[in-house]
Amino acid sequence: MMAVPSIITMLLRIPVLLFAISVHESAHGLVAYLQGDDLPKRQGRITLNPLPHIDLFGAIALILFGFGWAKPVVTDPTRYRNPKVGMGLTALAGPVANILSAIVFAIVLKYIDKYNLITNRYLQIMIQEAYLINVYLAIFNLLPIPPLDGSKILFIFAPNRYVEFYYRYEVVGQIILIACIFFAPFLLSYVLQPIAYFIFNFIDFIVMLFP
């Protein structure tokens, strides 16, 4: 999905990446908190400060390959009013927050181009990267592979035996995922293309509504 970037682009991506990760993880924590679980708040995860959210290897993978992860927000599903649905909603919050952020950046890019608001090339690249990284982070996390959000979003609809299966084989999913990221990212690109097509077209539709 993304070629290995130039050194300049990689450097410009770092603050953008920190923002996207912070939005994603704090959204998880906030939705968990709203459902009665104060553990993320007590652990300082409902914040846009990137430091509590960074996973070093996940950040490097995202910068280089367009696929990556942050430090997971730990929640206590027993505190949810409906634990199975609550886990799904908490998982969904991260990708949704990134998509909403991407929409904002896409609208900004539209007006920058329309009215020539910014002439600084590097600032334009940062905004473009902010748009793309938020989209890619959302898309990647929608994969139904443990421990990604997509696998937990299925909790909302799946029977209880799926939840048991998930926790039994979560480690296997992690191994497969890491192997794909570092050794066969083209496989992830192929699988994610339909999701990417839908989300990019959805964002384009929203942006078109703005004059």
On whether the CB atoms of residues 131 and 105 are closer than 8 A, the answer is yes
Query: By percentage, how much of the chain surpasses pLDDT 70?
Result: 89
Range list of β-strands (E), 62-108: none
* pLDDT tens digits, 56-115: 877 777 667 656 678 889 999 899 988 889 999 999 999 999 999 999 999 999 999 888
**Residue type, position 95, single letter:** P
User: Per-residue confidence at 176, pLDDT binned at 50, 70, 90?
Assistant: confident
Q: How far apart are CA 105 and CA 130, in angstroms?
A: 7
On whether the CB atoms of residues 108 and 62 are closer than 8 A, the answer is no
Query: By percentage, how much of the chain surpasses pLDDT 90?
Result: 42
Active site residue 25: yes
**Residue type, position 9, single letter:** T
> What is the model's pTM?
0.85
Joined together, the tokens standing for residue 4 give 């290995």
Joined together, the tokens standing for residue 186 give 């083209």
Per the model's pLDDT, the better-predicted residue between 65 and 176 turns out to be 176
- At residue 2, the pLDDT reads 43
Joined together, the tokens standing for residue 187 give 């496989």
Q: How far apart are CA 164 and CA 56, in angstroms?
A: 30
HEC string of 156-183 equals HCCCHHHHHHHHHHHHHHHHHHHHHHHH
Q: How far apart are CA 113 and CA 2, in angstroms?
A: 23
